Structure formats: C-alpha cells, structure tokens
Amino acid sequence: MAILVSLAETQTPSMMYGVACGIATVAKAALTKLHGHPTYACFWGIRTLDGSRPEDTVPPHHLFAARFIAANLNNDTGTALALYQAAYNADDPDLWPACMHTLLAATGEAVLAATSGAGR
C-alpha cells in the first residue's frame, strides 16, 4: 500500500495507468488459475447476487475494481482505459485513490483464493 501511495505522489497519470494494468495482470493470472483459460466465447462481466444493477448497489470504487479486472480479463483495453480515466478525472478527489486501493485489495483476494495453503 505504501508503494502505491508513493507512486501516486510521484508518477504521471499515464504511468499510474500502467500500474493499474500491472495490478490487473496479476488478478488476471490468479483468476485464470482459478477458473481456467477462457475460450473465445467467454466474456467476463459483473453481476449482483440479487439481480439488481451493479451501479445501484455496489460502491463506485468496488465497481471500478471489478470492471477494470473484467476488462483486462476480456482483453478490452479501451474499456480499461475509459474506466481509469473516469476514476482519475472524477469530481470526487477521493474516488481515484479508493479505486486504486480497491483494485490492489481485490487482486490480493484473487491471489489468496488461487494459492493453495494461503489460508488466513
């Protein structure tokens, strides 16, 4: 977390997009290990347990992390970049840092889930 904060304070927005993509690459590897390699007919998406729209029930920073990881899993760089730009340029100055922290946390959860013997 401290490294992420230090990077955010010293790097350009485009460099931080690279950091976000690097974090998502780790999540992609963990999720691929858990679920296998997707076929060309496979598409990762976001759903809620109760069937509601994710925008209505999921906090924005959690939705960002899930969608950013899904975009990377789908090799959809355009969507990943649009999500990042929207978070970075949001009116709420706390949104982008929260998005990056949640992306890191979600990736950590995926790695723990994919690593046998990594119980808490």
3-state secondary structure the chain: CHHHHHHHHHCCHHHHHHHHHHHHHHHHHHHHHHHCCCCCCCCCCCCCCCCCCHHHHCCHHHHHHHHHHHHHHCCCHHHHHHHHHHHHCCCCCCHHHHHHHHHHHHHHHHHHHHCCCCCC
Q: Please give the pLDDT value at position 40.
A: 67
Question: For the segment 3-41, what is each residue's pLDDT rounded down to a tens digit?
Answer: 777 877 888 889 999 999 999 999 999 999 998 876 666
Q: Please give the pLDDT value at position 47.
A: 83
Dist CA 87 CA 95 (whole Å): 6
**What's the pTM value of the predicted model, to 2 decimals?**
0.86
